[in-house]
Structure 1
Amino acid sequence: MPDSFDAPRARLLTLPESPAGALSIRAKALLFHDPRSAALLEQAERIARSEATVLINGETGTGKELIARHLHTQSGRKGPFLAVNCGAFSETMIDAELFGHETGAYTGAVQSRAGWFEAANGGTLFLDEIGDLPLALQVKLLRVLQERQVVRLGSRRSIPLDVRLVAATNIDLREAVAAQHFRADLYYRLSVATLALPALRERPGDILPLARHFVGVYGPRLSCSGALLAPEAQQALLDYAWPGNIRELENVIHFALIVCRDGIVQAGDLKLVPSLARAAPTPATPAATTEPAASTEHADPASADPAAPGAAQQLATLASSLLAARPAQLLHKLEAALVHAAFAQTGENQVQSARLLGVTRNTMRTLLKRHGLLDDAPEPEPAPRAGDELRLHPPFAH
């Protein structure tokens, strides 16, 4: 397999360099070489020139913040770009964080403070994990978007705003609306313009160029400049399913450069999980060609499993038996078992556990604390990331 790609078609977005920061907290590079990616970039740049609120959908690690920053850069807005993770604050603090507060608004509010909306005035506010926003705050956010003004917690004075909102989520907000976890009116307000970021496995033309980019980033730091990907390593990268998307690819390449020899990354250096290799396409059967299969994109997981009806019946029988025995605190024990199982199955990942159980991350945190899986220590508040400029690289070659 040749170690090259069509350079004129490739465009790369990266975050500003931050040597002191963690290596892979978020996707730090987004490349538009695959035709599907190139079409996405063109659509994003058309949307950027408008003032429309934007909703970005995509799996974790696909580069949603990079697209949001590019929207801000292309919009020509003179104010700052600020990024806020809605799942990073407790339900009691997120109101004050987003909308600000006055002195004495709550215990510990010793001085007034502007919220993120005020701080982003004249620029763009990026709200990541918007699906984790509590319902009570969704009402207030809707009013802010409609009236273009904000009222601080503990105040009656409205403050006019000139802020473009870009929101992002890794869940299907339409399903959240149907489950009454997200307000329909806010969803329609947010989704004036939508951008769907395909997963890395859905744009294979970007995998090798991104891998080479990360080789170029980490190689010099590890005294491995000029490292190359062996043909077998390239094929392994293409065959992998990439559940962690760009963020996972960066980590894989970083580790491979640490352990590789003679500046050549072999397939064994990648340490990919064999069970997550991309499944080979199955030849169509006559029945499949005459009658299309039903879509399972939004199907109930139970209905997609042939054994699910039997499992559901077993669960119903077990529940009846438990109820008949009248054990103490049955609901609490069942809830604890379910929470422990979901947390363990997802490798103690709060976001994935919440998605598995169909609840918000804040609800999941409450459940984890209730059942002793998470301490009550407050999470550190993320510092504003104002003034960061997104770099749009010219076409490049390796």
Structure 2
Amino acid sequence: MNVAALDLLPLRERPGDILPLAKHFLDRYGKRMELTHVEIASSAERALLNYSWPGNIRELENVIHHALLICQNGRVTSADLHLSASVISFSRNQSGNGSASNSLKSLENILADLYEQPLDNLFDTLEETIIRTAYDYCENNQVQTANLLGISRNILRHRLKRFGFLTT
């Protein structure tokens, strides 16, 4: 039933909602995991605020849930969030006019920067970022994500399991 329709701005345009929502998800999943005390480090708060949230609230929820699974002593740090610096930079460097060529040029520049200061397992980090953001963009719909990325659903499921986004 469609009783009332609400038009909400994307999360990236509502930065004041990011930390309250993150804390809500921390409490929610902390209780489910029977953690007596959960908190978020200030560095993690800054990382959450600097991220563009292409997957909106669902992505934020998934990021917080995953972070709680891997954090130490109920304290979420920026490293636990698994937010890629390349995604943060890419979102800020987009021209906003929807031009694929401008976006690809921005991506090439970001990759060149990453090559200058390589991360451990750079390819895996990039692949995980691509899979995660596409999956979030498609609202966790595997068929749509596979179609968007031009891969089979079986390959996508294998990657989602490998990166910890699917458990079965």
TM bin (shorter chain): 0.5 to 0.7
Matches within 5 A, 1:311-322: none
* d(CA) in 1 for partners of 2:96, 2:55: 24
Equivalence for 1:273: 84
The one of 32, 48, 62 equivalent to 1:221 is: 32
* Residues 1:203 and 1:305: Cα distance change in structure 2 (over 3 Å): closer
Greater C-alpha radius of gyration: 1
Question: Is 1:241 equivalent to 2:52 in the alignment?
Answer: yes
State the number of aligned residues: 120
* Residues 1:301 and 1:353: Cα distance change in structure 2 (over 3 Å): farther
8 A contact 1:224–1:257 mirrored in 2: no
* Residues 1:352 and 1:199: Cα distance change in structure 2 (over 3 Å): farther
* d(CA) in 1 for partners of 2:59, 2:74: 21
Equivalence for 2:9: 198
8 A contact 1:252–1:271 mirrored in 2: yes
- Identify, as 1 or 2, the structure richer in strand: 1
Q: CA deviation digits over 1:288-332, x for unaligned, max 9?
A: xxxxxx971xx5535x5798xxxxxxxxxxxxxxxxxxxxxxxxx
* d(CA) in 2 for partners of 1:214, 1:306: 33
* Residues 1:264 and 1:350: Cα distance change in structure 2 (over 3 Å): same
* d(CA) in 2 for partners of 1:281, 1:219: 31
Equivalence for 1:351: 144
Highest RCO, 1 vs 2 (Cα 8 Å, sep ≥ 6): 1
Report how far residue 250 of structure 1 moved.
0.9
Unaligned runs of 5+ in 2: 106-133, 136-140, 155-168
Report how far residue 216 of structure 1 moved.
0.8
* Residues 1:203 and 1:279: Cα distance change in structure 2 (over 3 Å): farther
Equivalence for 1:190: none
Equivalence for 1:258: 69
* d(CA) in 2 for partners of 1:274, 1:259: 19
8 A contact 2:143–2:153 mirrored in 1: no
Matched AA of 1:216: D
Equivalence for 1:152: none
* Residues 1:222 and 1:306: Cα distance change in structure 2 (over 3 Å): closer
- Identify, as 1 or 2, the structure richer in helix: 2
* d(CA) in 2 for partners of 1:305, 1:223: 43
* d(CA) in 1 for partners of 2:49, 2:10: 13
Report how far residue 232 of structure 1 moved.
0.6
8 A contact 2:52–2:91 mirrored in 1: no
- The DSSP-based 3-state class of the residue aligned with 1:219 is helix
Paired-residue identity, %: 40
TM-score, normalised to structure 1, is 0.26
TM-score, normalised to structure 2, is 0.55
Matched AA of 1:301: A
Equivalence for 2:100: 301
* d(CA) in 1 for partners of 2:63, 2:52: 13
- The DSSP-based 3-state class of the residue aligned with 1:277 is helix
